[in-house]
Amino acid sequence: MDLHKLVKKAQKGNDKAFLELFQQHEESIYRIAYMYLKNKDDALDVVQDTAYQSFKSIDSLREPQYFKTWILKIAINRSIYILRQRKKSIPLPPEYTEQQVASSCEEDIPLSITLQELLDELDTHEKSVIILKFYQGYTFQVISDMLELPLGSTKTILYRGLSKLRKSLKRGEIS
């Protein structure tokens, strides 16, 4: 069944149609969430939250052809929300972190910075635009619509983020 018909059925309350739509994009939602959160359990929570939020608000989707863009936007917003909640968490006591550092020194762990770690140093807009552009392959117009940013700002944010990544590489922060 085509996308337009499925969305219309889901908007009329057909649970099976919504489930079919959601399952088509579940993997993309998980990958986006994992890129932000770097934690399997948190990414799965985002998938579940996205399912709930999108099911609850499917009526707000005006253009059925943009279902994937709409649902990924929900996933990104849920991921950013979890990241903000993490910042509010209470840090571990010093004894625990010292013990953890001592035990990690015993293991043979390479000290290289990955691209993912570099992306984590960008602000949320820069990270979102880079992920959507290079990992998901969206056009600037779709990204600007998804993030509700002007087209010119979306391009500026991308190039500013790429510039920051290049500077990190030139400083030798990656090996």
Q: Does 30 score more than 50 pLDDT?
A: yes
**pLDDT on residue 116:** 73
Structure tokens at 139: 């056009």
**pLDDT on residue 101:** 43
Backbone angle region of 13, left / alpha / beta, with phi > 0 → left and psi within -120 to 50 → alpha: left
- Residues 121 and 81 reside in one and the same domain: no
**pLDDT on residue 25:** 93
- Residues 58 and 134 reside in one and the same domain: no
Rounded CA-CA distance 95/119 in Å is 30
Number of domains in the chain: 2
Angle in degrees, CA 69, 75, 36, rounded to 5? 115
Give the pTM.
0.68
- Residues 69 and 127 reside in one and the same domain: no
- Residues 26 and 64 reside in one and the same domain: yes
Contact 6, 21 (CB under 8 A): yes
Contact 9, 53 (CB under 8 A): no
Rounded CA-CA distance 133/104 in Å is 36
In a domain, 172, yes or no: yes
Q: Which residue would you say has higher pLDDT here, 40 or 110?
A: 40
Q: Does 149 score more than 60 pLDDT?
A: yes
In the chain, % of residues over pLDDT 70: 82
Average pLDDT over residues 89-101: 49
Q: Does 98 score more than 80 pLDDT?
A: no
In a domain, 106, yes or no: no
Contact 40, 34 (CB under 8 A): yes
Using CA atoms in the order 120, 123, 128, 129, what is the torsion angle rounded to 10 degrees?
Answer: -120
In a domain, 101, yes or no: no
Query: Helices 67-87 and 15-37: crossing angle, nearest 10°?
Result: 40
Angle in degrees, CA 5, 143, 83, rounded to 5? 100
Phi then psi for 39, rounded to 5 degrees?
-150, 125
Q: Does 91 score more than 60 pLDDT?
A: no
Rounded CA-CA distance 80/18 in Å is 24
**Domain encompassing residue 124:** 111-175
